[in-house]
C-alpha cells in the first residue's frame, strides 16, 4: 500500500473513532463559558502552538468567545524561558491573567505531557494550576497515557492506528475539531466570508 493510502486510511479511521459525546460536551461547556462571560485560554507547543493561535482567532471572530493564547507573545515566552525556564510559560501566564473558575483551558497536544519522561511539563503545570483555581480543562490529544488525557475534565482522544503517524494525524485533528466547534450552530454567532 502506498503512503498516501496509508495516511488517508489513518485519517478516516481516526475520524470514525472520534467520540461525538465528548465533542457535544465540549460544545455545551463552551456555550456555558460564553454565557457566563468566561475566557478561553488555548495552549500547545510546537505545531500545536500554531494551532492554538489560529483557534483563538476563530473562537473570537466566529463565536464571540473571549479567547487568548500565550503563544502569541513570543517576547514574553522567551523572556520567561530565559529567566524561569520553559516549564513556567503557561502557568505563569494564567496566574498573571487571574484565571478563575469561570474560565476554561483548552490543551492541544500530541502526547499531553508526561512527568516521568519530563515532556511538556509546561502543559502539566498549566493543568495543575487550572485545577487549583477550580477551573475546567479540555484536551485534544493523540495519546491516552499522557497527563492531559488523564487529568482534563473532557479528554478528546485522536485514536491513530499507525503509531508512526500519531503526530501529523493528531495535529490535523486539532484543526478539524476546533473548526467543527466554531462552525457548530450552538456556538457560531458570525458567518464566515466564504
The total domain count for the chain is 1
Assess if residue 144 is contained within a domain. Answer: yes
Residues 143-193 pLDDT 10s = 999 999 999 999 999 999 999 999 999 999 999 999 999 999 999 999 998
Assess if residue 61 is contained within a domain. Answer: yes
pTM of the entire predicted model: 0.96
Contacts for 114-123: CB closer than 8 Å, 24+ residues apart? 114/145, 114/146, 114/147, 115/147, 120/45, 120/146, 120/147, 121/86, 121/87, 122/43, 122/45, 122/86, 122/87, 122/88, 122/89, 122/90, 122/91, 123/43, 123/44, 123/45, 123/90, 123/147, 123/148
Please give the pLDDT value at position 23: 98
Domain of residue 133, CATH code: 3.40.50.10490
Residue numbers of the domain that contains 99: 19-183
Assess if residue 70 is contained within a domain. Answer: yes
Stretch 109-131: mean pLDDT: 96
Assess if residue 59 is contained within a domain. Answer: yes
Assess if residue 8 is contained within a domain. Answer: no
Assess if residue 41 is contained within a domain. Answer: yes
Assess if residue 89 is contained within a domain. Answer: yes
Assess if residue 2 is contained within a domain. Answer: no
Amino acid at each position: 500500500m502506498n503512503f498516501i493510502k496509508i495516511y488517508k486510511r489513518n485519517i478516516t479511521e481516526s475520524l470514525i473513532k472520534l467520540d461525538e459525546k465528548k465533542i457535544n460536551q465540549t460544545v455545551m461547556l463552551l456555550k456555558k463559558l460564553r454565557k457566563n462571560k468566561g475566557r478561553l485560554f488555548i495552549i500547545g507547543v510546537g505545531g500545536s502552538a500554531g494551532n492554538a493561535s489560529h483557534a483563538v482567532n476563530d473562537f473570537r471572530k466566529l463565536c464571540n468567545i473571549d479567547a487568548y493564547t500565550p503563544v502569541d507573545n513570543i517576547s514574553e515566552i522567551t523572556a520567561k524561558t530565559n529567566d524561569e525556564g520553559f516549564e513556567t510559560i503557561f502557568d505563569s501566564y494564567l496566574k498573571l491573567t487571574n484565571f478563575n473558575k469561570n474560565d476554561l483551558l483548552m490543551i492541544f497536544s500530541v502526547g499531553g505531557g508526561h512527568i516521568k519522561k519530563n515532556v511538556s511539563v509546561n502543559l502539566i503545570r498549566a493543568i495543575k494550576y487550572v485545577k487549583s483555581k477550580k477551573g475546567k480543562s479540555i484536551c485534544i490529544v493523540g495519546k491516552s497515557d499522557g497527563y492531559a488525557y488523564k487529568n482534563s475534565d473532557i479528554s478528546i482522544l485522536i485514536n491513530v492506528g499507525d503509531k508512526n503517524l500519531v503526530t501529523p494525524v493528531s495535529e490535523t485533528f486539532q484543526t478539524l475539531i476546533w473548526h467543527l466547534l466554531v462552525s457548530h450552530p450552538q456556538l457560531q454567532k458570525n458567518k464566515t466570508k466564504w
